[in-house]
Amino acid sequence: MAQPLNVLLIGAGEINFGSVEGPWNHTLRLEKILGPRLRVVALVDIDASRAKAAIDAKVASPTTAGAYSDCKILPTVAEAARSLRSDLPQVAIVGAPPFARGTDVPGRDLELQLVEAFPRCALFIEKPVSSGPEDACWRVAEALAKNSTLVGVGYMLRYLQAVQMIKTIIADNGLVVMGTNARYVMAYEWARKPAWWDKTRSGGPIVEQATHFCDLSRYFGGDVNLPSVVAHTVQHNEPPGQLSAKRFDEDAIPPEHRLPRLTSATWKYKGGAVGTLTHVIALHGNTYDTEFEVYADGYRFKLVDPYGTPKLYIRRPGIAEEEEHIFANDDPFHTELGTFLDVVDGKASKDRILSSYEDAIKTYELTWAIRRASETAAEAY
Q: Give kind and range of the element (H or E) at residue 73.
A: strand 72-74
Q: 20: pLDDT confidence band, cut at 50, 70 and 90? A: low
pLDDT in tens, 133-182: 999 999 999 999 999 999 999 999 999 999 999 999 999 999 999 999 99
What is the residue range of 39's domain? 5-149
Specify the number of domains making up the chain.
2
Q: What is the pLDDT of residue 228?
A: 98
Asked if the structure places residue 346 within a domain, the reply is no
| Cα separation of the two ends of the chain | 66
Domain boundary among 149, 168, 191: 149
CATH number, domain containing residue 9: 3.40.50.720
pLDDT tens per residue, range 302-315: 999 999 999 999 99
Amino acid identity of residue 358, one-letter, is E
Distance CA 182, CA 161 (A): 18
pTM of the entire predicted model: 0.96
Of 108, 128, 149, the last residue of a domain is 149
* Residue at a domain's end among 129, 149, 169: 149
Please report how many Cα atoms fall inside a 13 Å half-sphere around the Cα of residue 68, on the Cβ side.
23
The reply to whether 211 falls in a domain is: yes
Nearest to 16 by CA among 112, 154, 197, 201: 154
**Closest alpha carbon to 199 in 208, 191, 190:** 208
